[in-house]
Chain A
Amino acid sequence: MRDEGGGMRDEERTKAMTSIHRSSFRIHPSSFIPHPLSLILAVVLLYGVIYPNLHVLTASLEVNGSWSLENYRDALSHSTTFEAATSSVVLSLLTVAFCAAVGVSLAFLFERYTFPARGLFATLAALPLVLPPLVGTIAFIFLCGESGILARFVQWLFNMKSAPWTLRGWTALLIFHTYTMYPFFYVLTGAGLRRIDAGLAEAARSLGARASQVLFRVILPQLTPSLIAAALLTFMTSMASFSAPLFFGGDVRVLTLEIYNARQRGDAAASLTLTVILAVVSLAALIFFQRYEGTRRFAAAAMKGATRSRQPIRSGRARVVATLCGVLFATLLALPIITLVLVSFAREGTWTTSALPNSYTLANYARIFTQTDASSVFINSLLMSGLASLFALIWSFCVAAVVTGKRMRFRRLISFLVLIPWALPGTVVAVSIIEAYGQRNPLTGSFILVGTFWILPVIYFLRFMPIVVRAVQASIEQMDVSLEEAASSLGARAWMRFLRVRLPLVWPGAVAGTLLAFVIALGEYVASVIAFVPSNQPVSIRIAAEMRDFNVGTAAAYGVILILLIAAAMLVAGRLERGRGLGAGG
């Protein structure tokens, strides 16, 4: 008996050993990369990432043709710059705190307990993730602004003379940021909780730990990597936030807004300097984030076994409370979107002092679909996002092919360079591309990108290709390495291995990632507003213009159509994602 036990342990050990073995053997001679791919990689990274960013840096250090720190001295001597930097950082830190409070508690509620309609609420909770920031912003204004539905309702209820609040400044920004960004915490904590082996908590209980000890000594330490990842995602998104400060930031000056204003003023030096400052803060966050990624992988490796089962809430009263919380919460989440839909049917110019618009019409939609001028912005956006995400898809396979063939140090470097445009706020990416390719330069000669159709697709590509790269890499990592080795042993050359093994297995994940990039690009505003060409406006620019002209109904209608397009794409992506169980292999 003893012998057999020993033998089995040995076998498991062998399996564990070979699996470690396998994963460290990813590089093998047969996967040597044809040179053209490395060349494409080098060119895109040089033109898209290295040169523009270096250019912004050097340009900010140049005054009248010589090196100088004057721009920085100048910028920092203005109290506004300093104020903008601090505002951005403080706003982002507060956003992280609020999002953590909301997101983590929701994740625990939804992952640990079952109650009626749990699944529906759990899905709804991730909703704000796919809401384009600009559309979210205007929906929020319609709902909570001083002339929005809620304010008017309260005013009517208590018969007040003026609006009970103004939607301006810190409070407004924090509420909005929490609403749009808590899903990072919710989704990542949820995923972390699902990965935690229920056996560990049970083991801790069997060793005599109380529930609180289990939480603090077993569960939270394992969640730390997820929490850190969520905190940094939130921080960086908040640093990059532009629409909300633009529309209801009041006198809160944040870096993104200051850069935009400086450009509007024509103050190139200030915009460059501020861009560098914003980039440095964001990159510091990225480096911090990458450092902790290693620990996450370790954590995932230690977690195999049964998933934690959800506990049903048994007591009747608790069930009612939980369900009520869920309904309330779902309503809160859905309110901005319901508002948007409602306003999109409002007859322009009729919604002035009442709580709800008093007359409804289909005219807003009709106008969008019948006027070529109005529908052309959709075609523009679809075309530009489509091109950007298609290139991102092809590009991702290049990156994956090159990266898996290289030594660790190169792999790190390439992955880092690829991630940079994602970590940088859209404002920074737009400014750096415009500055780098707005005049003749050593890389492109007399070709000037700014002012052409391609400026926005290029910026969309750079900003969102990291999403696709990550999706493709994740799918490849999930793929069993021995499949390609088996193909190789069966005589398949590199192309056949790619077409018949890697591509079909990675395809669903890659397409899902591409669709995600596509929908995000579809509603892009932050970079578009800096770089767009008047003859080729994306939807977001039009929405903002309609808002400025007080055509709220039309703006809302554009927003609703955008949301519908995004929902459709996400539905397809989700389908693909689910069908991926296939790729797991023997």
Chain B
Amino acid sequence: MSFLSLLNLSKRYGESLAVADLSLEMERREFFGLLGPSGCGKTTILRLILGLETPDTGSIEFDGRDITRLSPEQRGFGMVFQNYALFPHLNVFENVAFGLRARKADKTEIEERVRDALALVQLPGYERRAVTELSGGQQQRVAIARAIAFQPALLLFDEPLSNLDVALRQETRGELRELVTKLGLTAVYVTHDQEEAFALCDRISVMSEGRVLQTGEPRELYEHPTEIGVARFLGRNNFITARRLTSSNEATGQFKTIDGEHTLTAKIGGASLIPINKNCTLAIRPEYLIISKESPKGNENALLATVREINFTGATTAIKLDAQGLALEALLLNPDGLSIGDVRIVQLPSDHIAVLNQG
């Protein structure tokens, strides 16, 4: 039994289906991410978990109990809102104490817990300040302190960093993860920022149009996407349309690219049941392409290509290549010795090629 289970949830608003028959399992002490473009239903899921919405179908189980019909105040989950939702008429102390007062905690306990929470978010001594005079980053910390002060069973984050500037966002990100781990909390974190999700979460569900495309650890999602939607959403990819040459029950498969008619070998993950002679999409990250002057050993997936463009972007340099009709992009740390028009061997290592299900 998982700590939190979403079972076949659906939620419809008028014509649009915000969540479509979605199931997820989260474990105790897990930092779980919901990642997807705007409008994919991730915030709706958070609101369903918190109890601000009731699902049209399906149920939510928490710690072995069905909580689908409970109101938010009965659930006792903490939430950090995107706009913080701090009470403008209350000072920092009263904001943080709000959840404790709702639970009728006694005075000394309230003071102690508020002080601890503020210390945890590194705002000690801010009790009497008005929340309206705090900076965005400080308001954010108060919002977190308020959500953890009453020791919630589950902590929910709705894009909490999106209103901060880039430097502050990265700093807060690190502190947030540390805090959740230190307190041993379970967290669900909604974001559309891939980097943020990767840096924070133990596991991530990538969502699109109310469904989960793929759930996994960040690295797994990045390197072995199984859905074209996941590969498109996470970072850059070379997408190659190819026809399958060998039967589907082998661990490695042979593919013929439509552009350039190259034969490529790829490792096939579990889900890729693509019949022979059918077209499919292969994906390889630009940073995994190897450009060299000589053919590699075994000659696997080595293509002759002409350098078309060299774009310096800072840490890396993007190289656009033309492999006899097949357009490819490679990222190099060191582009020394390459110039436009050079002819090189480009290799696509077979264990970095993902065979994708068509979304």
Contacts and interface: CB of A to CB of B under 8 A. Distances in A.
Interface of A: 10-11, 13-15, 17-18, 21, 24-25, 28-30, 480, 482-483, 485-493, 496, 500-501, 504-505, 582-586
Contacts of B50: 485, 489
A505 B79 contact: no
Interface in B189-214: 192
Contacts of A13: 38
A78 B156 CA distance: 73
B65 interface: no
Contact of B38 (A14, A488, A583): A14
B236 to A, nearest CB: 9
B218 interface: no
B139 A493 contact: no
Interface stretch (B27-35, B96-104, B106-114, B260-268): B96-104
A421 B43 CA distance: 42
A109 B218 CA distance: 61
B43 A18 contact: yes
A29 B52 CA distance: 7
B102 to A, nearest CB: 4
A25 B85 contact: no
For the complex, would chain B's binding face be called helix, strand, loop or mixed by DSSP majority? loop
14 contacts: A17-B38, A29-B51, A30-B51, A483-B85, A485-B72, A485-B85, A486-B79, A486-B87, A489-B78, A491-B76, A492-B98, A505-B89, A583-B89, A585-B83
B86 A586 contact: yes
Contact of A25 (B47, B71, B82): B47
Interface of B: 13, 37-39, 43-44, 47, 50-54, 71-73, 76-79, 81-90, 98-99, 101-103, 131-132, 139, 146-147, 150, 156, 159, 162, 192
Contacts of A14: 38, 159, 162, 192
Nearest to A491: B102
Contacts of B82: 15, 18, 482
B192 A482 contact: no
A496 B159 contact: no
A29 B71 contact: yes
A490 B99 contact: yes
Contacts of B83: 480, 482, 585-586
A11 B192 CA distance: 8
Contact of A488 (B72, B86, B88): B72
A493 B73 contact: yes
B99 A491 contact: yes
B128 to A, nearest CB: 17
Contacts of B53: 25, 28-29
Contacts of B51: 29-30, 488-489
Contacts of B47: 25
B169 to A, nearest CB: 11
A487 B89 CA distance: 13
Most-contacted residue by chain B among A21, A480, A488, A496 (CB, 10 A): A488
A466 to B, nearest CB: 27
A11 B37 CA distance: 9
B89 A489 contact: no
Given A17-B38, A24-B13, A491-B150, A483 B71 contact: no
A102 B4 CA distance: 65
A501 B51 CA distance: 19
A329 to B, nearest CB: 39
A482 B52 CA distance: 10
A24 B16 CA distance: 13
B71 A486 contact: no
Contacts of B85: 480, 482-483, 485-486, 585-586
Contacts of A10: 37-38, 192
Given A14-B192, A30-B51, A493 B88 contact: no
Nearest to A16: B38
A407 to B, nearest CB: 12
Nearest to A486: B85
A10 B162 CA distance: 11
Given A14-B38, A21-B43, A585-B88, A491 B52 contact: no
Nearest to B130: A582
Contacts of B87: 483, 486-487, 500-501, 505
Given A18-B159, A490-B150, A500-B90, 15 more contacts: A10-B37, A11-B192, A18-B43, A25-B53, A485-B72, A487-B98, A487-B102, A490-B146, A491-B103, A491-B150, A493-B73, A500-B87, A501-B87, A504-B89, A505-B88
Contacts of A493: 73, 102
B147 to A, nearest CB: 8
Nearest to A24: B13
Given A10-B38, A505-B88, A582-B89, A492 B102 contact: yes
A480 B85 CA distance: 7
Contact of A30 (B39, B52, B77, B101): B52
B73 A30 contact: yes
Contact of B162 (A15, A486, A487, A583): A15
Nearest to B86: A586
Contact of A18 (B38, B71, B79): B38
Nearest to B139: A586
B81 A486 contact: yes
A487 B99 CA distance: 8
Most-contacted residue by chain A among B44, B85, B90 (CB, 10 A): B85
Contacts of A15: 82, 162
Contacts of B78: 489-490
A490 B162 contact: no
Contacts of A492: 73, 98, 102
Contacts of A30: 51-52, 71-73
A482 B81 contact: yes
A187 B238 CA distance: 60
Contacts of A585: 83, 85-86, 88
